[in-house]
Structure 1
Amino acid sequence: MGTQNRLSQETANLNRRSFLKLSGMLGVGLATGAMIPLTAEAVKFNRNMYKVSRTRLSMGTFVSMTLLHPSRDKAEEAMGAAFDEIDRLSGLMNRFKTATAVGELNREGMLNSPPPEVLGVVRDALSFYRVSKGAFDISVAPIVDLFKERLGSGNKAAPTEAEIKKLLRRVDAGAIVIEGKNIRFRKPGMTITLDGIAKGFIVDRAAEILAGRNIDNFLINAGGDIRTKGERQDRKPWTIAIQDPQKKKHYPDIIHMRNGAIATSGNYEVYFDQEKMFHHIVNPRTGLSPHADASVSVMAPTTMEADALSTSVFVMDPGQGIRFIDSLPRYECLVLSAAGGIKRSRGWKSASI
């Protein structure tokens, strides 16, 4: 069942980095400034199975894969195909290059016959917009760009209330129209960012490539957007540790996962000022970055769902996000507040996807 169909069904019912360690445990969240070498490794840990691991830079982060398969050659071939798909799709979704589909859409305000992957992601983004009652909004790009322009590259002038208010007039995912195979904006000056959903979609596509090549046991980690299938080499579930945003060298929680996904959104990932008052997540209603929470992790069947929902919950008021996830089937979340508190959805402790 497609994401849009799943979300439509759920709406009727209602009325989302550490290095992937070879031990199988990883932290959700990548420490700022961490230097991780590009790596590749193939280990035969018994007569019948290889573990093949590789880490590469892609999508502006480190992407790690670990595969288990009896044939080293087939595992490496499948991994290469998955990385190729990641590179292809990330090129399509890149909004900073004017020649891409998203770049053209932002420049022209309309896009005829875009690549089906772009059309599908935009359509799914609008589904999340509706289900989250506007919390997930891909049209916040003008404000994110304002933050970067005013505070990036050594600039220290914070955006004014008037500047933010002016750009808020362009923020409205409800003004994004899909007509057949075409996309257009109903408001002048609108632009979109797929940062809160595209990475999850791309990880899911990489997982489909691996599964289609008969890789039954793997873990993909793209900067905290994680997709798993099967088991580790010891026949135990993959172990995933939730990183502490305050970097106090402990894990607020650890989960075990066989087939599923988890993604984390946090203010420690991408921020534009030292105080983290302005970061890459923006409340589409206020034009400001939320500060109540430090990170939100969501478990879901797919990485795209986890990606978009973790962003949605991060934007919501404290407590509202937990209630939102509890109202949806098949999702769980963990919220780490800026004050150090921990909140879990009803099924988080027992959740084993």
Structure 2
Amino acid sequence: MKKTKLYMDTVVDIQVVAEGAKESLAVERSMDRAFEMFRQVELACSRFDPDSELMRACRHVETSVKISPFLFEPLKFALEIAEWTNGVFDPTVGKLMEERGFNRRYLTGDIVDSTASGSATFRDIVLNELEQTICLLQPAVLDLGAVAKGFAIDLAAKELSCFPGFLINAGGDIYAGGQDESAEPWTVGIRHPLNRQDVIYMVSMSNEAICTSGSYERKSPKEAGQHHLIHPQTKLSPSGLVSCSVIAPYAMLADALSTVSFLLGSDGARQLIEQEKLKGILINSSMQIIKAGEI
């Protein structure tokens, strides 16, 4: 059974392998709950909705604001990755992205502008885990685009884990649970960066996520040669890689590390992926495939 819906400015496909017609009602209910996870995460984490939890929290400075787990958990994870990478990954990059023209909702064209400055870093975000609150020490626009979709995929996967096989595809970020209809691992294709309809590499996977960050999808309307993957320290878009896919046990990790790996470039990416005993497929500007880890 397969269903498709639109969430988080992307097409979300869910496919479930069911053993018989008797399961169809249970499958439908589980799929509805899985899609609901995307809706909840979008309501909490969208930078393009002025009424989202994220954007409401950004309007408060030096004041603790209580937030839901749908925002707290991905933000906490983003800060852990930021600390670990010493700021190569930084969720306060939102203002910089606005300045580069990435303030237009991808599908509707609606524009969201903020009045925050661009000087904050991840160290200006204080989370209180006991109280589930956030406090911004400086004005900031938070961007959780590198973790929120992965978080939604992981929550959806939990709703479908009772079935022998399922595949969640959110705009090319994928979790493959169990086995496909032939009782084999799922086969997933990585899109060719230049030819949208072509696949450049195939991977076989089960109970794993694969997420891809690439420079080909969203170009800056304001600065030539710049795209939506911006290094928060250099304030530039790296050009060494055009695509970086990371395979990890869960999607939020794959999502974040595909972004980090892209920002680090091929050598740094390979070192990071292999250090964490993960797998990666990197594609440079010459369309050369660089494998990382045991893939």
Q: State the TM-score, normalized to the length of structure 1.
A: 0.74
Deviation at 1:117, TM superposition (A): 2.3
Distance across 2 between alignment mates of 1:303 and 1:56: 19
Q: Secondary structure at the match of 2:101?
A: helix
The separation in 1 between residues aligned to 2:185 and 2:105, in whole angstroms, is: 41
Is the contact made by 1:98 and 1:107 (CA closer than 8 Å) also made in structure 2?
Answer: no
How far did 1:108 drift? Answer: 1.5
- Pick one of 261, 270, 289 that aligns with 1:342: 289
Aligned to 1:182: 133
* Corresponding residue SS for 1:326: helix
Superposed CA offset, 1:177-196 (max 9, x none): 11342212222x31111111
Q: Does structure 2 retain, via aligned residues, the 8 Å contact 1:65–1:219?
A: yes
The residue identity in structure 2 corresponding to 1:258 is S
CA–CA separation in structure 1 for the residues paired with 2:202 and 2:224: 26
Structure 2: state its 5+ residue gaps. 107-116
Corresponding letter in the other structure for 1:325: I
Q: Offset of 1:248 from its aligned partner?
A: 7.5
> How big is the shift at 1:289?
1.4
> Of residues 28, 39, 54 in structure 2, which corresponds to 1:87?
39
In structure 2, the CA distance between the partners of 1:274 and 1:184, relative to structure 1 (3 Å rule), is closer
Aligned ranges for residues 148-167 of structure 1 at < 5 Å? 148=101
Shift of 1:318: 3.1
Correspondence for 1:193 among 122, 143, 146: 143
Task: Please state whether the residue corresponding to 2:2 is helix, strand or coil.
Answer: strand
1:206 aligned partner: 156
CA deviation digits over 1:154-203, x for unaligned, max 9? xxxxxxxxxxxxx6533x1122111342212222x311111110000001
Instruction: Report the CA distance between 1:134 and its aligned residue.
Output: 1.8
What CA distance in whole angstroms lies between the structure 2 residues aligned with 1:217 and 1:126?
A: 32
CA distance in 2, matches of 1:263, 1:116: 23
Partner of 2:242: 294
Is 2:62 the partner of 1:62?
Answer: no
What letter corresponds to residue 303 of structure 1 in structure 2?
A
1:342 partner letter: I
Equivalent residue in structure 2 for 1:114, among 56, 67, 70: 67
Q: Is the 8 A contact 2:16 2:166 kept in 1?
A: yes
Q: 1:98 aligns to what?
A: 50
1:243 to 173, 186, 191: 191
SS in 2 for 1:184: strand
Contact 1:151 1:273 in 2 (8 A): no
Distance 1:149 1:265, change over 3 A: closer
User: Does the 8 Å contact 2:246/2:279 carry over to 1?
Assistant: yes
Structure 1: any 5+ residue segments left out of the alignment?
1-51, 154-166
User: Aligned letter for 2:10?
Assistant: T
Kindly report the root-mean-square deviation, in angstroms, between the aligned alpha carbons of the 2 structures. 2.3
TM value normalised by structure 2:
0.88
Distance 1:88 1:151, change over 3 A: closer
Distance 1:80 1:117 in 2: 17
| SS across alignment from 1:99 | coil
Distance across 2 between alignment mates of 1:307 and 1:149: 19
Secondary structure of residue in 2 paired with 1:108 = coil
Equivalent in the alignment of 2:163: 215
Relative to structure 1, the CA distance from residue 270 to residue 92 in structure 2 (aligned partners, 3 Å threshold; closer, same or farther) is same
Is the alpha carbon distance of 1:168 and 1:278 closer, same or farther for their aligned partners in structure 2, counting shifts above 3 Å? Answer: same
CA distance in 2, matches of 1:221, 1:317: 26
1:265 and 2:213 aligned? yes
Paired residues in the alignment total 280
1:220–1:227 contact (8 Å) kept in structure 2: yes
